[in-house]
Amino acid sequence: MPISTKDTKPCPGPRARQFRDRPAFRDRRLQRLTARLPFGLRSAIHGLRRPSARWVRLPAGFLFLVGGTILTPLPVFGFWMLPVGIALLAEDISFLRYWVVRTLDTLETHKPHWFRRRRP
């Protein structure tokens, strides 16, 4: 019995993986995620992601990582600070970009509504 084409999904090859690693594609997905945040937090993230804010972004990312590890037991501070710190540091440190792209891929697979554009 032949296999139905509806049941099989094409396996992404190395070219698709290269496309996902492009900065423009990563930036577009990060912009869609940040568009859902409150205005004050969204503007702060956009300000930190500018290329000219590198000297603010590196210490902020490091402080988020340290704060996330030390303040993990607290309810307001804690674990959420680790991915934020990694995402900030990934703008400048290339080997962390791989983990950000993988995390964005996983989020897009499991939570696709987070990446949809909001209706005005």
Query: Tell me: the pLDDT tens digits for 62-91?
Result: 998 998 888 888 777 778 888 888 888 988
Q: Please give the average per-residue pLDDT across 19-42, as a whole number.
A: 78
Rounded (5°) CA angle 18-24-103: 65
Q: Is residue 45 within 8 Å of residue 34, measured between CB atoms?
A: yes
Task: Locate 31 and state its tokens.
Answer: 């912009």
Give the domain extent around 31. Answer: 24-115
* In-domain check, residue 9: no
Quote the number of domains for the chain. 1
pLDDT band per the 50, 70, 90 thresholds, residue 4: very low
> Which residues touch 88 (CB under 8 Å, ≥6 apart)?
48, 57, 58, 60, 61, 64
- Tell me the C-alpha to C-alpha distance, in Å, between residue 100 and each of 40, 78, 118: 23, 19, 23
Residue 45 reports pLDDT greater than 80? yes
Choose the most confident range, by mean pLDDT, from 10-19, 24-33, 52-61, 66-75.
52-61
Query: Is 5 part of a structural domain of the chain?
Result: no
- 17, part of any domain: no
